[in-house]
Chain A
Amino acid sequence: MTQAPLPKAHVRCQLNGQPVEFLADQHMSLLEVLREVLDLTGTKEGCNDGNCGACTVSMDGRIVDSCLVLAPEVDGRTIETIEGMAPPGGLHPLQRSFLEEAALQCGICTPGFLISAKALLEREPDADEHRIRHWLAGNLCRCTGYDKIVRAVLRAETAMAPKAAAGRTRRKKSA
């Protein structure tokens, strides 16, 4: 017996600063919507089950794995993806420091790391290495061995620090 297909969910949200409206199957994930409905393929799929963080986006200011968010849950929310990270014609300091430190190889994990690291630096601009590693534990990288990524985040902290602090060696919190 075939059943009538379920109606699509009609979703309105803020996406990278713009109002967006879309239709999606009710069981679709936010990741699928981004990549397949909205053609925003910067957000990557690694595991599709919450383990790798490649699909990390920001939802109402908190990072989430978009593969574990359903499309209809996004209604009324504010979403930021990697496509919204760089200012027009430039790069975000984290994007620049990832390039400078060669913190990527295949690049599949990179958008997720960038979104996660940005969320950390917005909360804790002085996060030390230990804190960075802890915060990024939900993002996996098969290529770099993580050291370069951590160095890139530390470098971005220095680049983003207010001018007053720039001259002297910045003290890192110890816990």
Chain B
Amino acid sequence: MHPFRYVAAGSIDEAVAVLREHGARARPLAGGTDILAQLRAGRFELDALVDVKGVPEASALRLGRDGLDIGAAVPCYRIYEDPDVSAAYPGIVDAASLIGGIQIQSRATIGGNLCNAAPSADSIGPLIVHAAAVTLAGPAGTRTVPVDSFCTAPGRTVLGEDELAVSIHVPRPPARFGAAYERFIPRNEMDIAVVGVACAVVLDRSGERIESARIALASVGPTPIVAAKAAASLVGGPPSADAFRAAGEVAADEASPIDDMRGTIGHRRDLVRVLTRRTLERAVQRASGGTASGNTGRGTR
């Protein structure tokens, strides 16, 4: 491996200064579960890695009145081991508890998952349906980008060379909100999503109509796909099996999957149908006060 400097940044300014000094030859380091493997495989070379785990804003997990702020360097276990976060942000907890195994979850961050921008990334769909936005810091100050417009291509994002992600803000969900994320993988754990589907719904007071819905698909396009038509098809209607099945059909049309070693186009569209229906069921169950989320260890296949 090409030798690089390791810099433990203690502040945003320090991190930005090192990124600026090295340009494309430096990158932030969070849990290292993507970037260290990529460097070792010779995917690219760097002269410096800037560890952002010591940046206070990036390592804070804060649940406030207006929502949840997930520091970009907060590892997955801190999210799913927090009972308040688990109760309020079920879709995000679903993703945090299925990224990698326990060793990976000790280190891997949602910030790293987002910035790595793999089409199969498990946290991005849930962040999108939770209407999250990420705050970036660079030489010119900070800016905030909605997660649904953050990824631009596989492995590419709107991040500038001298910018880092500081934290992800997830607004406080309204009353009668529920969300869920499920993926299909050939094993029970430790694999890359062939397809992932995240859904969120808000029910009306009666619990018999869907007031709003959001659906995001992973691994069926170069970037996460917002299945806006499928979500719109649900609004104003009842949370019924028929409605979920119909939404799954629309979502399958909105997907643009490819054939690869993990699955074919047809298989992937089929999975979008099934997983859309299932995650909608779970989201509605959670919206009506049903089962909570959490790392129960039950694999979703």
Q: Knowing A116-B103, A137-B101, A138-B103 touch, does A68 contact B1 (C-beta < 8 A)?
A: no
The proximity string for A residues 97-121 relative to B, scoring 1 for CB distances below 8 Å and 0 otherwise, is: 0000000000000000000100100
Q: Which residues of A contact B131 (CB under 8 A)?
A: none
Q: Could you tell me if B36 and A29 are in contact, using CB atoms closer than 8 angstroms?
A: yes
Q: Which residues of A contact B101 (CB under 8 A)?
A: 53, 137-139
Q: Is A1 an interface residue (CB 8 A)?
A: no
Interface residues on A, range: 20 to 34
Please give the residue numbers on chain A whose beta carbons come within 8 Å of chain B beta carbons, in ascending order. Answer: 5-6, 9, 25-27, 29, 48-51, 53, 56, 59, 62-65, 67-70, 72-73, 116, 119, 130-131, 134-135, 137-139, 175
Q: Which residues of A contact B39 (CB under 8 A)?
A: 27
Knowing that A9-B6, A63-B102 touch, tell me 13 more A-B residue pairs with CB under 8 angstroms: A26-B6, A27-B2, A27-B39, A50-B36, A56-B103, A67-B36, A68-B37, A68-B107, A70-B36, A135-B102, A137-B101, A137-B188, A137-B189
B106 to chain A, nearest CB (A): 4
Q: Considering residues A53, A72, A137, which has the most beta carbons from chain B within 10 angstroms of its beta carbon?
A: A137
* A70 to B3 Cα, complex, angstroms: 12
Q: Could you tell me if A27 and B102 are in contact, using CB atoms closer than 8 angstroms?
A: no
Pick from A48, A59, A131, A175: contact of B106, CB under 8 Å: A59
Q: Which residues of A contact B4 (CB under 8 A)?
A: 6, 26-27
The proximity string for B residues 259-301 relative to A, scoring 1 for CB distances below 8 Å and 0 otherwise, is: 0000000000000000000000000000000000000111100
Give B1-58 interface residues, CB cut-off 8 Å to A: 1-6, 8, 29, 31-33, 36-37, 39-41, 49, 51
Q: Which residues of A contact B150 (CB under 8 A)?
A: none
Number of B interface residues in the complex (CB < 8 A): 33
* A72 to B8 Cα, complex, angstroms: 9
Q: Which residue of A lies closest to B53 (CB)?
A: A73
The proximity string for B residues 231-255 relative to A, scoring 1 for CB distances below 8 Å and 0 otherwise, is: 0000000000000000000000000
Q: Which residue of B lies closest to A72 (CB)?
A: B6
Q: Knowing A131-B297, A137-B190, A138-B102 touch, does A68 contact B36 (C-beta < 8 A)?
A: yes
* A65 to B1 Cα, complex, angstroms: 18
* A12 to B41 Cα, complex, angstroms: 29
Q: Could you tell me if A26 and B32 are in contact, using CB atoms closer than 8 angstroms?
A: no
Q: Could you tell me if A63 and B103 are in contact, using CB atoms closer than 8 angstroms?
A: yes
Q: Is B77 an interface residue (CB 8 A)?
A: yes
Q: Knowing A6-B5, A26-B6 touch, does A175 contact B103 (C-beta < 8 A)?
A: no
Closest 4 CB pairs of A and B: A138-B101, A134-B297, A137-B189, A49-B37
* A63 to B3 Cα, complex, angstroms: 26
